[in-house]
Structure 1
Amino acid sequence: MADASGPDASRRQGPERPSAEGLTDAQRSLRAQMLATEHWSLLASRSTTQSEVLTRIAIYLTLVSAGLVTLSVLGNATGFRGWFGVAALGVLLLLVLLGLITQKRAFNASLDDLMFVIAMNRLRGAYLDLDPGIADYLVTSANDDEAGSAQTYYAYSPRPGQIWASSAMIISVVVAAVIALFVGGVVLGLAGPIWLAIALGVLAGLGSIAAWMRTGYRGYTAMFRLHSPLRTTSAD
């Protein structure tokens, strides 16, 4: 068994929770004001992050739509011959690169949102330390562990399909479709058969979704592996 006094013991056991005992009324009031200020700062940062990501996704969807319309116009003008293939691959490659950048930002924002939820849960725990009587008025959790964050996200009941309807999943599906078109286009450009273009395109698209879901899961688990909660759900 590992020595509990080792260098990682503090992270495994978690930090000691600050106590509000012994504080005067003035000190409690000052602490409540500082906690509320931090809470509003987190709310503002969370709102700004979500708004920025949704705007970037909307811009990318607009670019995808414009790119496909452009390819349609070029195809009609060239009869889908000559330099159309090069132009199509160039447009699709640009959409793939922009899509990967947007997708990365969306996944980073999802982790940022989780961090904001954990931080606000911790602040609610501080509110309870100041006044335990407000516990019955809180719907969201005051525990800054994984179970507490799930309660804050889902409140009254778990929603297993939440991830499938998330912004990160929407952008993942769109980027996967663009990647599939690009890979299929490359195969056709190299004089490959249509069935091979479709097969490799589908595999590339599905592989992209699987890779990003794995990336998101690893980021989620890493956050709680590195985080040391002050209040845990099992302790209540």
Structure 2
Amino acid sequence: MYTEFKNKVVIITGASSGIGKATALAFSNEGAKLVLSDVQDDEGETLAEEIRKKGNECIYMHCDISKPADVQKMVKESVKKFGRLDIAYNNAGIEGKMGFTADGSEENFDRIIGINLKGVWACMKYEIPEMLKNKKGVIVNCSSIAGVIASPGLPVYVASKHGVNGLTKNAALEYAKQGIRVNSVCPAGVDTPMLDRIVLNSPGMEEQMDTIHPIGRAAKPKEIADAVLYLCSDRSSFITGHELLVDGGYTIQ
């Protein structure tokens, strides 16, 4: 479907499960060379081996994106292995502990911001210089509908995802003339372990999942992966600094 991805070098963070895993499999089906990273090492290694068995080049590296030194090492080793970096999907993120603003802890705030916001910044900090060497590249950051609307009980998550969209727009403006496009994808509910945790901690949420999305269900991880591949493809060559809502109509209610 996307012939331009064949042999392109793609980094995916948070690749061991959920949207990251679905995106890794989608890129592998298009012949990309993959660098997968996560902190869930067993799952990440298993996925990388699955992709290699299909005949695609793929490596897995442990990377805690809240630690810029980890990110720097991951990007450096990726370029050492494959010679360049064409595409990055900065997907890793957490929801943290739920609770209203006045009930939250400093520890929870620091952890969510460290991964969701600082982590995305660190990824772009080290990915962009490698793309500048080739005078082209595409970055997609995983935000959320929580990056454009509020969600009671998830104040720090909402703040982090608003921040991701802000970083995305700023980087898009800074590097547009150097051939680098930067966009974000903003899913609503997606059938992933993260959604399972949110539902578990929100009484009555499970019964509402099919009704809170006008389309009548939560998204499948592959549907978000499809949106990411579109944003990384030549078909979106005039799109940068955009927040692509993949939300089944959630935000238009």
Shorter-chain TM range is under 0.3
Which structure has more relative contact order (CA 8 Å, sep 6+)? It is 1
Larger Rg: 1
Give the structure-1-normalised TM-score: 0.26
Normalising by structure 2, we get a TM-score of 0.25
